[in-house]
Every structure is written in C-alpha cells, then in structure tokens.
Amino acid sequence: MVSHVPGGSIMELLVTLAVFYHLAALFASLTGVFLALCRLRGMATERRLIRPLILNGELHLWLSGLLIIALGVALKGMPYFDNPKLWTKVILITLWSLNSWLLRHYSRSGLDQRRIAMFAISLGSLIYGSFLGVAKPLAYGVAPFWGLLAGYAACLLLTGLLLQRSRRWLSSPAIA
Ligand code: HEM
C-alpha cells in the first residue's frame, strides 16, 4: 500500500524492520524452549545454548514488541490501543513473563506435572502470541476480547495435553 503521509514510507519500512526483529527474537525463544524440552526428556542437546537463547529471545521479544507499539502509536495515534487483540496480547505477555520467571527459579531436574504445566504456558504462549501477531484480520473488534481470550485458554490446554503425550515422541529411543 502506498503511504500518503509525508515520511510515511520511511515509517512503514521501520515497522517492517521492527517486525522482522520481533520474529528473529521469536525464533530464538522457540528454539530455546524446544531444546530445553528435549533435554528434560533425556536427549543430548547443547546445554550452553539453551539459557542464552531463551533469555535473549525474551529480552528481544520485549524490545522489538515495544518498538512495534511505539511505531504503531506514531503512525495511528491513540486509536492504536483501541484493539482487543492488543489487550489479549498484554494478558498473554504478563502470564508468559511471570511463568518464565517461575520456570527459571523452580528446581531444574525432571519433567514433573508442575514443570509440564509451566512448559505448556511457555510454549502455548509462544504459539498463541504468534497467532495474535498474525491475526490482523481479527483486529480492532472484528473478534471480541472474550473470544480471543478463550482461544488463548484453549491453546494452553492443547499444548499441555501435547506435552503430556510428548513422553512418547520426545524421548531418546524414538530418535535413535
Ligand atoms: C510470547 C511472546 C511473543 C510472541 C510469540 C510474539 C509473536 C508475534 C508475532 C508472530 C507477530 C506478528 C508479526 C507480523 O507478522 O506482523 C507479533 C506482532 C506483535 N507483537 Fe508480539 N510476540 C510476543 C511478545 C510480544 C511482546 C513482549 C510485545 C510487547 C511488549 C509484543 C507486541 C507485539 C505487537 C504490538 C505486534 C503487532 C501486532 C499488530 O500489528 O497487529 N509481542 N508478535
């Protein structure tokens, strides 16, 4: 789309770069969480990679996400916030950040029920956060807030069930 705002194309280029930065951070986070899960299921993974991938991924998701918001406000003004999709993302980010903190401070050995639940929140939030990010046709009230929130709850539940079953497919004998 051609911008009619002076300097608009520069702003749109900046938004594109910020989104690309956001996606790079997302890939780092997802890779880190996946490697952590493989390791907890007893697979040989490069341990030194996991922590920096997760920590840097989270930090840069925040930085790039805030940059996208700042550019969005600069382009659209305050109506930018009149978007249930954005507020669903705020709830998701709050739960995800709290959970990441708990996950780092909870004892590191094994994959018991509590850790499975924490990993489900971590992975489920990365998956649904991505869905909300790309769900632009559902923005600005097309999908109601409660509907988007129910989708998040369903995604967490499904991810939890998937992780329970991961005992079967995410274990060393299956890979060997
Ligand atoms: C769970 C972690 C997160 C995931 C998985 C995630 C994922 C994504 C993805 C895939 C996009 C779509 C990019 C595009 O193609 O346009 C996106 C957009 C966005 N993200 Fe995130 N993100 C996360 C965390 C954050 C954080 C921490 C913030 C803010 C502090 C944020 C703010 C945004 C904003 C404002 C957009 C643009 C949405 C729109 O234009 O409709 N995200 N996110």
pLDDT at 1: 47
- Look up residue 98 and give its two tokens: 């709290």
- Look up residue 16 and give its two tokens: 């594109």
- For every one of its 176 residues, what pLDDT tens digit does the chain have, with 9 covering 90 and above? 445 555 669 999 999 999 999 999 999 999 999 998 888 877 877 888 898 999 999 999 999 999 999 999 999 999 999 999 999 999 999 999 999 999 888 766 666 788 889 999 999 999 999 999 999 999 999 999 999 999 999 999 999 999 988 766 665 554 43
Measured distance CA(19)–CA(41) in Å, rounded? 33
Q: Is 14 in the pocket of ligand 1 (CB under 6 A)?
A: no
Residue 62 CA, closest ligand 1 atom number? 27
Residue 126: closest CA among 15, 28, 39, 18: 28
What is the distance in A from the centroid of ligand 1 to the CA of 119?
A: 20
pLDDT at 33: 93
Q: Is 139 in the pocket of ligand 1 (CB under 6 A)?
A: yes
Burial level of 87, CB count in 10 A (0-12/13-18/19+)? middle
